[in-house]
Structure 1
Amino acid sequence: MRVSALIKWPFLASLALAAVPALAADEVNLYTTREPGLIQPLLDSFSRDTGIKVNTVFVADGLLERVRAEGGRSPADVLMTVDSGNLLDLVGNGLTQGIESATLESVVPAHLRGADGSWFTLSLRDRVLYAHKDLELDSFNYEDLADPKWKGKVCIRSGQHPYNISLIAAMIAHDGVEATENWLRGVKANLARKAAGGDRDVARDILAGICDLGLANAYYVGRMKNEPAGSEQRRWGDAIKVIRPHFAYGSEGGTHVNISGAAVARHAPNRGNAVRLLEYLVGDQAQSLYAKANYEYPVKAGVELDPVVASFGALKVDPLPMTEIARFRKQASELVDRVGFDN
């Protein structure tokens, strides 16, 4: 319709404008696989500080399939996951878009974000050793878990769990497929029980005397040791100490981390607000909440840690890029099945 016609008959202008969806200038739509309770304080803080409402859609499973099915009609602005593999699958399937942000680039190290701005780490989850508190042990390499001296003394969750697949993929990148397969066989031979349960079950079984050590995420210890004294999970946490292992491949070794991370959705209708949310989540206030409410390790340097997490000592992150680890996820899963790790 010509502009002159709209001016001549104002009611036609009103009808034309009504047909155009209003821009949600004060909203942002978040699709997340994170438990809502863990991130809601961060989102509430963002809304208070910016006036932007966060509409959260919790997607326990099938985030990639949902966004792909929605296509260009998807209302998603930000896609958030708790595993680097899941996040990079979204990127690889063309469901995110690259952004430029000096704030994000100055906070997030290069190996923990996409080179094209297609994804960013928000917090770290280091894969550590839980050991009985009285065990005379103060350092460890991941490769040591296959040492026969630990036969019948190791507990761990399923090898096919994303936390362990990520670690195994990193080991393939560092040590090669053959060495990693031998390592998996050695760890399986050392198991005190079937590889199953969750990370906190490792601490539970150490307290029960079933095993002496195992691999799990550090932030669970923050949760357990901050439970009320005398509670069941507090007793689990008090039964163990945490050692941050390194890969045994030289002086550049570091501790394996998985991540919580996010990306701007490819068809984000509120792109500007999406970028603002990501920038906010790497700011001091949000990073402090990650550290003190969720017991995760902040991606931003210099943020004060929860005292329990701080007691684990300095975290030296394995410098291997997340994209390199992701390359070997399929092989890692195949190795787990080949050695019958979960049987």
Structure 2
Amino acid sequence: MRLLPAAITLPLLIASSMAFAQDKVVNIYSARHYPTDEALYSDFTKVSGIKINRVDADDAGILARLKAEGAASPADVILLVDAARLWRAEVDGLFLPVQSKTLQAAIPDNLHAKPADNGAIAWFGLSTRARVVVYDKLKFNKSDVDSYEKLADPKLKGALCIRSGSHPYNLSLFGAMTEHLGVEKTETWLKGLVDNMARSPKGGDTDQIKGVASGECGVAVTNTYYLARMMRSANPADKAVTERIGVVFPNQSSWGTHVNVAGGAVARHAKNPDNAIKFLEYLASPSAQNHFANGNNEWPAAKGVSFDNPALKAMTGGSFKSELIPISAVGMNQIKVQQMLDRVGFK
């Protein structure tokens, strides 16, 4: 056997090792700031041998960074926590549409981007958060708030607490309402919300929940994972809050409760696209989906996944009727919604 000179073999070995290292890495830009996700990352590396490099920022910061970096961006995977931002990034061309039989089989059609002509999909929802109503059980009945429309009923005047209308969680809810009701009726509904406010919008969803428990508000709107977090807390004060309030999954007798998605996509200029797809497919697997539920109190997005989270099960018995309008349609209504908010004075 003929041996190559060292001057030739050393560069070949270096090049080979560099290629191997490139094959075994995936670079993630993530808006998920949940310590429990660390187990997901380490498990993926364990089962795949692919190392994860991660940059954490909020949704807006990630999108701004991708635009600034352009083709030089090292990002392979983008993880965002709001449907409107996923849609915006798709429209801005920041994602690389991909074809994955695994992802398309696991994720329902309404929880991913509309397929391109060739069947490729720009992003996939990986977990969901229901937008529910909590109410003071001493002041109101469940039937008073069992639909989003009833939040604008004059009987709730001075009772409603809600975070800023321009927060992505509310923009997505209001975008869904626009899809259901049309612009004119949605604007009338938004004006009703403003008229019923107990105070100007402020704080996060946990603040709205506590506002109901303290008596400052009679009803409030929150994402389920904030409420589930308090229900599972060992803090006596949190337990006292959850005992005072009731929770309603609105519109169970009509189109279903609004859900927002946290999702993922392959970055437009991914240097490791195959590894990026493997990571997204892993996040759609039953084990990862169960972790979303148990670790961060989110509802699984994949079909047929069971979970053991006691707080989520206590809220609904484990399941509820969710709306089925495409998330992409919700995103497309964002500009209309912002204009309506301005007109009705919803800060």
> Is the TM value for this pair above 0.5?
yes
Work out whether residues 97 and 122 of structure 2, in 8 Å CA contact, stay in contact via their aligned partners in 1: yes
Aligned equivalents of 1:264 and 1:183: distance in 2? 37
Work out whether residues 47 and 54 of structure 1, in 8 Å CA contact, stay in contact via their aligned partners in 2: yes
Give the aligned partner of residue 118 of structure 1: 122
Give the aligned partner of residue 205 of structure 2: 199
Which stretches in structure 1 are left out of the alignment for 5+ residues? 1-6
- 1:298-318 CA-partner distances (Å, limit 9, x unpaired): 112232141111122222121
Aligned equivalents of 1:74 and 1:308: distance in 2? 40
Give the aligned partner of residue 325 of structure 2: 320
Work out whether residues 203 and 239 of structure 1, in 8 Å CA contact, stay in contact via their aligned partners in 2: no
Shift of the alpha carbon at 1:11?
2.6
Between 1:269-278 and 1:12-21, the stretch displaced more is 12-21
The amino acid that maps onto 2:270 is A
Work out whether residues 264 and 275 of structure 1, in 8 Å CA contact, stay in contact via their aligned partners in 2: yes
- Partner-residue secondary structure (3-state), 2:133: strand
- 1:1-48 CA-partner distances (Å, limit 9, x unpaired): xxxxxx997635755885796352221111011115242221122122
Work out whether residues 156 and 214 of structure 1, in 8 Å CA contact, stay in contact via their aligned partners in 2: yes
- Partner-residue secondary structure (3-state), 2:23: coil
1:148 to 154, 173, 192: 154
Work out whether residues 36 and 58 of structure 1, in 8 Å CA contact, stay in contact via their aligned partners in 2: no
User: Aligned ranges for residues 95-106 of structure 1 at < 5 Å?
Assistant: 95-106=94-105
1:24–1:133 Cα change, 3 Å = farther
- Partner-residue secondary structure (3-state), 1:96: coil
Aligned-residue Cα RMSD (Å) equals 2.1
1:176–1:219 Cα change, 3 Å = same
Give the aligned partner of residue 11 of structure 1: 7
Work out whether residues 136 and 215 of structure 2, in 8 Å CA contact, stay in contact via their aligned partners in 1: no
Aligned equivalents of 2:69 and 2:330: distance in 1? 29
2:314 to 306, 311, 316: 311
Aligned equivalents of 1:125 and 1:267: distance in 2? 29
Aligned equivalents of 1:51 and 1:15: distance in 2? 25
Give the aligned partner of residue 3 of structure 1: none
The amino acid that maps onto 1:120 is F
Shift of the alpha carbon at 1:68?
2.0
User: Aligned ranges for residues 325-336 of structure 1 at < 5 Å?
Assistant: 325-336=330-341
The amino acid that maps onto 1:194 is S
- Partner-residue secondary structure (3-state), 1:335: helix
Aligned equivalents of 1:192 and 1:96: distance in 2? 41
1:305–1:177 Cα change, 3 Å = farther
Aligned equivalents of 1:49 and 1:8: distance in 2? 36
1:286 to 288, 303, 313: 288
- 1:82-130 CA-partner distances (Å, limit 9, x unpaired): 0011112221111211211111111100111122321000000110011
Give the aligned partner of residue 272 of structure 1: 274
- 1:231-282 CA-partner distances (Å, limit 9, x unpaired): x3332223222111128xx84x011111100001112111111111111111
The amino acid that maps onto 2:274 is G
- Partner-residue secondary structure (3-state), 1:158: coil
Work out whether residues 286 and 305 of structure 2, in 8 Å CA contact, stay in contact via their aligned partners in 1: no
The yes-or-no answer on 1:240 pairing with 2:240 is no
The amino acid that maps onto 1:322 is I
Work out whether residues 75 and 269 of structure 2, in 8 Å CA contact, stay in contact via their aligned partners in 1: yes
Work out whether residues 87 and 332 of structure 2, in 8 Å CA contact, stay in contact via their aligned partners in 1: no
Compare the two structures and name the one with the higher helix fraction. 2
Work out whether residues 297 and 305 of structure 1, in 8 Å CA contact, stay in contact via their aligned partners in 2: no
Aligned equivalents of 1:15 and 1:50: distance in 2? 28
Which stretches in structure 2 are left out of the alignment for 5+ residues? none
Aligned equivalents of 2:4 and 2:40: distance in 1? 50
Give the aligned partner of residue 257 of structure 2: 255
Give the aligned partner of residue 298 of structure 2: 296
The amino acid that maps onto 1:198 is G
Shift of the alpha carbon at 1:291?
0.4
The amino acid that maps onto 2:7 is F
Aligned equivalents of 1:170 and 1:198: distance in 2? 20
Between 1:160-169 and 1:40-49, the stretch displaced more is 40-49
Give the aligned partner of residue 47 of structure 1: 45
Work out whether residues 30 and 77 of structure 1, in 8 Å CA contact, stay in contact via their aligned partners in 2: yes
Give the aligned partner of residue 33 of structure 2: 35
